[in-house]
Amino acid sequence: MLEVDQVSKEFHGLKAIDEVSFHVPRGSITSLIGPNGAGKTTLINLITGVLPPTRGAIRVGGADLRGWSPHRIARHGVRRTFQTVRLFHGLTVRENLLLGRIDSLRGRLSLWLPMAMGDRDGRRRADEVLAMLGLSHLADEVATDLPYGTQRRVEIARVLMGQPMFALLDEPAAGMNEGETAQLVDDVRQIRDQGITVLLVEHDMSMVMAVSDQVVVLNFGRKISEGTPAEVQRDPEVIKSYLGE
């Protein structure tokens, strides 16, 4: 599904990502972890086309994404969330999801919203996604008025509107309490069960260990470990650089 092949990214001669390679199998949940400054955000931006790699290749579904714009990558079936909430203020949960069907929101939002609201297939899809995540009762609530953890789940629902083949979730548990994180674990499993491959970037180790099929660990831009959650948890280099004794 996702192949990161000897990828490097340099800024002013310094390597933010240094010859990183790993493979995310189709239909799996892979977690990308590492301390702050490890290069996780840079790698996400390389996969989603925000930044071009200096060297190496990034392939999704066999297609080499080098040189593709973020919008083209999204249309190819790669969708993402961000570290901070990016919902549309003043719009309902359903309206936020409907706008997730539009690849590019160039121009005024007031021009796009009537088009989205008239999308019958989109409304049907929005209701399906909300039902899957147990959010149907919030469809007509203003999204930004909801608790923070619920807003994060609405963002994940919006990612699913595009029926992606690959979902990249960037620190979705940030700011969540224990109960919300447990619900998020169920959400991620449901996404996987829909046939969507997941790359999860997360600092919450309880979530990572509970939900991941495999874990990739970065430190100072290099991959230092890869394996099952149990294997990574026992790796002396990972313990030293990230997990602690």
Which of the four pLDDT bands, split at 50, 70 and 90, describes residue 232? very high
What pLDDT, on the 0 to 100 scale, is given for residue 1?
A: 87
Number of independent structural domains in the chain? 2
Cα dihedral: 198, 202, 205, 207 (round 10) = -50
Full domain range(s) for residue 131 = 90-162
What pLDDT, on the 0 to 100 scale, is given for residue 30?
A: 97
What pLDDT, on the 0 to 100 scale, is given for residue 121?
A: 82
In contact, 33 and 223? CB cutoff 8 Å: no
What pLDDT, on the 0 to 100 scale, is given for residue 122?
A: 82
What pLDDT, on the 0 to 100 scale, is given for residue 137?
A: 97
Q: Is position 84 within any domain?
A: no
Q: Same domain, yes or no, for 96 and 135? A: yes
Give tens-digit pLDDT for 35-75.
999 999 999 999 999 999 999 999 999 999 999 999 899 98
The percent of the chain in helix, strand and coil, each rounded to the nearest 5, is: 40, 25, 35
What are the residue ranges of helices labelled H in the chain? 40-47, 70-75, 93-99, 109-117, 120-132, 148-161, 178-193, 205-211, 229-234, 236-238
Mean pLDDT of the chain: 90
Q: Same domain, yes or no, for 123 and 62? A: no
| Domain end point (choices 106, 131, 162) | 162
Q: Same domain, yes or no, for 3 and 71? A: yes
Tokens representing residue 89 in the block: 């203020």
Q: Distance (Å, rounded) from C-alpha 14 to C-alpha 84?
A: 27
Q: Same domain, yes or no, for 116 and 73? A: no
Q: Is position 123 within any domain?
A: yes
Tokens representing residue 227 in the block: 């394996």
Q: Is position 24 within any domain?
A: yes
The full DSSP string for 185-220 is HHHHHHHHHTT-EEEEE-S-HHHHHHH-SEEEEEET
Q: Same domain, yes or no, for 58 and 158? A: no
Which of the four pLDDT bands, split at 50, 70 and 90, describes residue 104? very low
Q: Same domain, yes or no, for 169 and 65? A: yes
Strands 197-201 and 55-60: unpaired
Q: Is position 122 within any domain?
A: yes
Which of the four pLDDT bands, split at 50, 70 and 90, describes residue 202? very high
Q: Same domain, yes or no, for 130 and 148? A: yes
Tell me the average pLDDT across 164-172.
94
Q: Same domain, yes or no, for 131 and 191? A: no
What pLDDT, on the 0 to 100 scale, is given for residue 163?
A: 87
DSSP state for residue 175 in the 8-state scheme:
T
Q: Same domain, yes or no, for 218 and 143? A: no
